[in-house]
Structure 1
Amino acid sequence: MGVSLRRRQVNTSQLSSDIADTIQINHEAFLQKPPLFASLRSFGQSTFGLVQHGVQHQITACLITASIWDFVMVRKYVYVFFGCFLLLLSLSLSVACSGGECTYDSDCEGEKFCQEGKCVDGIVGNACTLNTDCKTGESCISSKCIKVECTDGEQTSCYEGPTGTIGQGTCKAGVKLCQGGRWGWCEGAITPSSELCDKLDNDCNGKIDDDPLCTTTCNDGDSRPCYTGPASTRNVGLCREGKELCTNGAWEGCSGDTKPVAEKCNDNLDNNCDGNIDENCGDCQDGQSRACYTGPSSTRNIGECKEGTQTCAGGKWGQCQNESIPQNETCGDNKDNDCNGRVDELASCNQGCTDGTTRACYTGPAGTKDVGVCKGGGQLCKNNKWEACVGEIVPTTEICGDGKDNNCNNQVDDNCGVCRPGSQEACYSGTTGCTKNGNVYTCNTPCSAGTRTCKADGQWGPCTGETTPAAKEICGDNIDNDCNNFIDDNCNTKLHQPCQTDTDCGTGNRCVRASNVLQICVQECTNDPTICNKNPKRKVCRAYTITDQGQQLSMCAEEASSGQSCDFSKSIMCKSNLVCDNGSCRAATYVNEGEICDSTAATPVLCALGLTCVSFGNGRPNVCLKLCSVANPVRCSRSSFSCMPFQTGGQVGGCIQTTCTQNSDCVFTNTPHECVSTSSGGKLCVSSTSPGTATFGNICDNNTIRCQAGLTCLATSSTAANGFCSQDCTTSGTCPTGGTCTQVSTTQKMCLIPCTTTCSNTQFTCQTIGQLGNFCFPN
């Protein structure tokens, strides 16, 4: 058969087309993995339950009644008596049809309390005047002890999106405010939505515009609908799509869309785009006030009793403030304390006293004397009657901010909200752009803090006059629109995009190889390292070898420390002496030209800048070689070196010593090299394998089975699994026993084992080797 002999340890490029493909590039950048550029878009549709269980029963009852009533009306002259009966039945169902839940507390189950026709959870129902009348965990609201979840005015962060999405992309937490002892709605939170191709991570999965529809290129003048609000609100209520235009081959961002805002009560519009109009608006409009009175109705505005006022907040009426309700009658003060229309009417008030005598007195509610600012006074007997109590201090409305317990409930400044009414302070509602130190904000221009004023209910009003960051940078206006302290950042639309040549990347960028299959655009800083200072993250000007050109450039990069994530496709590079392995930085050692390199070692051994790790195959160790261009091999400065391509016909290669006659001619003495012959008759210095133990005539594979020093593993072809240990020769007399010196090429002779039909070594067979004859080779 026509088989040509191959020396298994000779394995480099352009020396012979049959061994060129075995030399491989093993460069630092090739440890990177190409990014994924595609994902599947999922479209969700929300459904709404139309009828709840209890309401469904009411509607059913009403329909049944209406049907029977119609039946009776048609036959009213025949079924008069039965019609009267059904009329009573319809009246008994009127409550269900009208939607009212209760009239009295007894109409509600368990510990619910009837408030304005509704059974409210958490109302214990015990009558009270002060918070001290209630159990622990309850407050006195509208003369009833109510279980509270929180303190009025208290705020807490909230988030209702999927676990792991908060803080990713556009997703952020909101705030809940406590009103009337209950937590309100979660306001200001942003949860995941469908990817909108707006250069933001809308679905909060850590990837920007990871959707097949988010193409990065387009034709100028093209437009497409867009929407930057939550996907479920698109074209619902007031929310409407916008339009995105194509400019300079790229989508410029969504404009003109209308997104959800907080529901505005009583405007008959669906402001928050959830399909409901004026929902959760409560019983009143915020800021409304009305007269109120929690005492017995017969005592309202009688004697010392006076009605108060209550204000609407969060759609609910607040506590009745500044009212006076009946107290125990105080003899001698000439007042109608119990508001029954009579002054000092008690029998005990008519007992005489001796003029000039005095006694201690206190007219405040029981349990408030000597609590807070409250204290007793004294009375003087005159004309055999006790005069008014003098010098006492009774409970008054709490004065917020004075540090005193004015209403004598053993709590200082209680129910005062979070601020003193009328006070002002600096405020800022943005999440970026300004930082707060104490009460002072430091902002990146043009962002600025505003001012908020404390309302009458002790809650802060809206922040006015502030400037928050724009949704995205407006490229070319020389303004830091997003207030991140970098002007016109994120305007490099070509950065990290796939490319073929530098012209694909635009001004200031270069096209470099990021992996074996991917080339991307990076920002070059070779001539101006300070340009990296304008980037929020890529602040370091890092040198990088362009493997396709055999030269170096510097690029703006973000540096990662040991254990941190790295991704060359995003310009995230490991710091010096670290290598990016499987997306994580770890320690590495760098070596010079001609030295052994191994990126798979526990501590990777990598080539210094400007070198690449080259494999000669056949079990030989990898070594660092200088990169070069076949068309311009000037980088191979040594006279005995040539630029040998890594692939047949390729233009990029490594500087390899091609002039030698014996091993000692190889210049890299710090790493064992040997001078070997090629099938084309040339000589080449390649890295030496550590010698094995196989002797002449025995099987070898240059991997687990290697020949002794001075012997060569010879096989019938480069793809053969095994060969046998042979050696160079001049005559048969220089071959070991059983060997014959045979001319295997025009310039080389080697010792072969001749045969006729069989071989003494049962692992070998007698094979015809071209025109040379029959020789023993492994099966």
Structure 2
Amino acid sequence: MKQTTTLLRRFLWICAFMCCSLCMLHCGAPERCKGRVGEQTLDPNGSPCLVDCECNNQLYEGHCQDNVCVGTQRETCNTKGTKRPCLLTQAGANGCTKGTQVCAPSYLSSSVWGDCQPIQSTPSESTQTLCFDGLDNDCDGKVDLGDADCKDFCNPGETRACFRFAAAQKGVGACKAGLQTCGEDRRWPQNCPGEQGPTQETCDGKDNDCDGSVDEHCPCPLGESRSCFSGLPSQADKGECKQGRQTCETKGWSACVGQTKPRAERCDQRDNDCDGQIDEDNPEGGEQCPIAGKKGLCGLGTLRCKEGKLLCQEHYTPTPETCNGKDDNCDGKVDENNPESQKPCQVKGQKGVCASGSTFCQAGTLRCIQQRSATREVCNGKDDDCDGETDEGMSAQPCYTGTSGCLQRSDGSYICEAPCQAGTRSCQQGIWSACTGQTLPAQQEACNGKDDNCNGKVDERFPQLGLNCFSGLYACRTEGTFVCSADGLGVVCNAKPPAPVAELCNNKDDDCDGTVDNNIKQVGTVCNNTQTGSPCKQGTYICKGGTLICNAVPQQEICNGKDDDCDGQVDDIPPQQCPYTGPAYTQDIGSCKAGFQLCQQGKMTACTGEVRPASGELCGNNIDDDCNGTIDDLCKWHYTLPMSASNSSYSTASVITTDQHDNVYVAGEYQGSFTIQNKTYTSKSTNQRELFILSLDPSGRIRWVTTVSTNPVRQIGAATISVSVNVTSGQVTVNGLVFGNTTLQLANSTLTVTGGSTAFSLVFDSQTGKDISAKTIASNNIPYNADATDTTLHSYFTRSFTTTYTLGPTTYTSKGQSDLMLLKRTNLGQIVWGFHVGSPVHDTNYAVALDPTEKEVFFALNASGKVSLSNTHTIDLGLHNNNPNTPVKGTLLVRAETTTGNILGITTLKALDASSGFNPGYYRSLHITKGNLYVVGSLRGKVQSGSQIFSAPSTRAFIWKESK
């Protein structure tokens, strides 16, 4: 707000300057304020100015300094006219730096403190009013009782030492001070109780005249000496006092030499007046002094002698604020919050309710402020018009308590719509009597030809009244008009339709049911056909064209024990399909079908032959038992590529995918030869691997197989191969990399490539495996990483480490040659969760795959011996029987929850000897669909999963289907 105000002011001045300069018009700056205080309420700080009133406004006290406003916000106050001290921004003409403020002065529109104004200084603060107003009226830097001008005034109960004789005589010889107590009139008394002044010397060994000499001028033996003391005998050798010696001379006793005389008591922890007391009667004290950090009366104390030091001691305890023009609670404010107010009081000279007032603190005095003014007299037992009479003129007034039907005129009378009428009422003991004689409208308009609710309309709730209406159905329908019902609650149709009669075959709707010639008794009964040449000898009566005739025409055969179609055979109808009771989406899918019914003895039999979905798939029968459109889809199976027995034979499956019918497509590498469906496939080199692609049905049976070779022989990157199926076009696509100059040879096509590495794309028919096309593609279409990414761009991956790995506050230590971390991260690289997998020997990850629901993620990894996962699961693969020092190797399929990383299950493929094992095929060797988990790779020797044992004499491509 402050910056906005400053910018607005500057903008106005710039606009004014530009207007004058550019347009040469007679214009000027915005009109300046007048007087000491402006009418604005905005914060002026930092705004440009020429005069103080531009900075000094209704809510801010300020001044114009170097053409820029400087100010502070005004504080709120409570009692109009109250004054308080304040500090001036600059000393006044008389040099005073303190001033006064007034609460809500006339030039301000709200209850805030006015401007700090210089005090009208006086020569001295010598009056009781000035000595207790909290102000430095004479500008000498001393306030009230702290000023010497106020020495004759005091706080009631305060005490001080007094001595009305010469100050030099106080505490000398027989002279001593008295003690005064301040009276309730805030003045010191004229007398001085306990005071002892000087008297004539009496030659009694005392200093009666308090001049410091004892028995001076008294006769004595010449040359005689004696001890002497000018004070009281009781003071000799007491406190600071010491006796001296005097000698009788020609003129009498000499002065007392060497004595220490009593003196006025001082605040120094000594007995200065030699009375046996130290610092008694508050020596040097009694004067007022300021107390730092205190306000109001609490800010003034009295000097008190304590332990030899003068201290400013509080003598006023804060009390609740009262209306007296003083700062009773010492908060720096006088009569704040309107003390002792809001109490009921009687206003003098007023009558009735006008005499009721409330106390209000004004200028230190409680005043009774009138709370109510005279109003029109009403019936309430009070004198509202303050004329000394109560409820006068309140008899027989017109009244009406309804909400409609009557309207009140300005003179209090009513004009009403018949039958409603006003009544009368009278004021009795401040309460109106009931309204008598009035007629109120009915709650609801009745249908009776009258204006029941007094709105000038008759039966308006019934808009149908008098309109045409009909009663009865179809042929019985009769016209009438709507009239009021007998109970007056609605309308009824006065039409009287004829009563329905039994239906006849006459082309009329006799029974008024909307259909002509139906429900006739004779229709359907047996009749004899007398018509010659008709194959039917017997018929039934039908109504045709308004005439009852014997119908002997052949009809459609139904199951009723009759020859309806007149063919000489009774109920000769084929089996009838009955409603299917299984899920609608499974009918006629797989083995599921509806049942049928037969007509026997004029009745249909129960439904037989229905087949509904089985609870599970029966594997190996080539039937879709659960009717989901896929044969043997939930069956577990495994397939091993049948390689030749040569030691150099080798094959591995790298990638796998499925189509919508759960047919399986696998791509991998082989070296050597294999035979499938009586055909042998042989690689061109014994030391260079070539590509194979095969397809299996949902039961794991071979559908087709094809191979891709290179000439000259070049390596195809197994880690780069991917396979995908286009369901719409019925095609399978295999992408990968080949290294070096070569020609890819397919069954029906070739592709020649040059360069260090070339990305290729091969397309096959998904039903036959016949190659359709071969081409090169951009290398960025080849997937290289093992990450699996969900639809929210979270990725699931692994990291290996050999020593330690830190994740958040936890540091993991490797248990063997290298361990794994299974991790989930956001697209910004932030880790969501991770868990540690460790075993005594090298741990390797090969594949990651997401469940289609993205609720679960699967990791395939190799480990050995005792494997620890997430510190919550331990899998002990054990040690080899023939080599107890060698941990058993195995492959773990870890299933985890995607949101938390919690492990849901672990499946193991455990090697049964040191030379055996299963290796998942690189990054894309896991595939999940329809509740099935597919794993591909290479199998060597014997491995075990649960009760299943898989074996291969050499390293062979292995495809494993498992229920997830």
Q: TM-score, normalised by structure 1?
A: 0.18
Question: Larger helix proportion, structure 1 or 2?
Answer: 1
Q: Quick check: which has more Rg, 1 or 2?
A: 2
Q: TM-score, normalised by structure 2?
A: 0.15
Q: Compare relative contact order (CA 8 Å, sep 6+) and give the higher one, 1 or 2.
A: 1
